[in-house]
Amino acid sequence: MHATALSNLADGVVDALLDDAFGLDRHQRTAYLLRKGMSAIGHLSLGILDGDELVGSIQCWPIRISDAALILVGPVAVASHRQNAGIGTRLMQLMLDAMQLDDAPMVMIGDPEYYGRFGFSAEGTSGWTLPGPWEPRRLLLRNRAMLALPEHGVLGPAD
């Protein structure tokens, strides 16, 4: 298996993986509203190939809260027949390794029990709201540089 930039893949390959991993109704999820109209951040959007087959992908997107820039992590997708093989962990680590010094703090909607090992927690997000349904305990932040962020506001696409 090897990693590649998602921009290196043919059109439709990532969508097919996302449909397999999350279902055809995935576009109704709140995370899609957060990144609506945005282009993925190239250096943080990666795939894992097994031969010619895309078995996992991670995408990151520019979003904001008030005037503060954030990076929305997700979806983290693994092919249904390759779940529980460490591919999601590898994707997260590859993405974190690709972070650059000037990259913004990261936010995601996910399970704190899983993503906590990568430095994500719900600390600092309790006053934030989203443009759709979410569970507050699953709105996670990774702010390694401890940048000052708004205590209250609505997350949304970057301008």
Q: Which residue's entry shows tokens 């951040």?
A: 41
**Enclosing H/E stretch for 152:** none
At 75, which CATH number? Answer: 3.40.630.30
Q: Measuring CA to CA, which residue among 123, 120, 15 is closest to residue 75?
A: 15
pLDDT digits (tens, 9 = 90+) for 65-88: 999 999 999 999 999 999 999 999
pLDDT digits (tens, 9 = 90+) for 141-157: 999 989 999 999 999 98
Q: Which two tokens stand for residue 16?
A: 């097919």
- If one counts the domains in the chain, the total is 1
Q: Is-cis flag, bond preceding 75, omega within 30? A: yes
Reported pTM: 0.92
Domain that holds residue 144: 2-157
User: Helix or strand or coil: residue 55?
Assistant: strand
CA pseudo-torsion sign 63, 44, 87, 54: positive
pLDDT digits (tens, 9 = 90+) for 11-34: 899 989 988 888 777 777 888 888
**Residue 25, Cβ neighbours under 10 Å: how many?**
8
In whole angstroms, give the CA distance from residue 136 to residue 118.
Answer: 19
In whole angstroms, give the CA distance from residue 3 to residue 54.
Answer: 10
User: What average pLDDT does this structure show over 123-136?
Assistant: 93
Read off the amino acid at residue 42.
Answer: G
Question: Tell me, what's the pLDDT at 31?
Answer: 85
Read off the amino acid at residue 92.
Answer: M
- Asked whether 15 and 40 are in contact (CB, 8 A), the reply is no
In whole angstroms, give the CA distance from residue 66 to residue 63.
Answer: 10
CA 114 to chain CA mean position, Å: 13
List, in order, residues 6 or more apart from 84 with CB less than 8 Å away.
none
pLDDT: is 19 or 40 the higher one? 40
**Mean pLDDT of all residues belonging to the chain:** 92
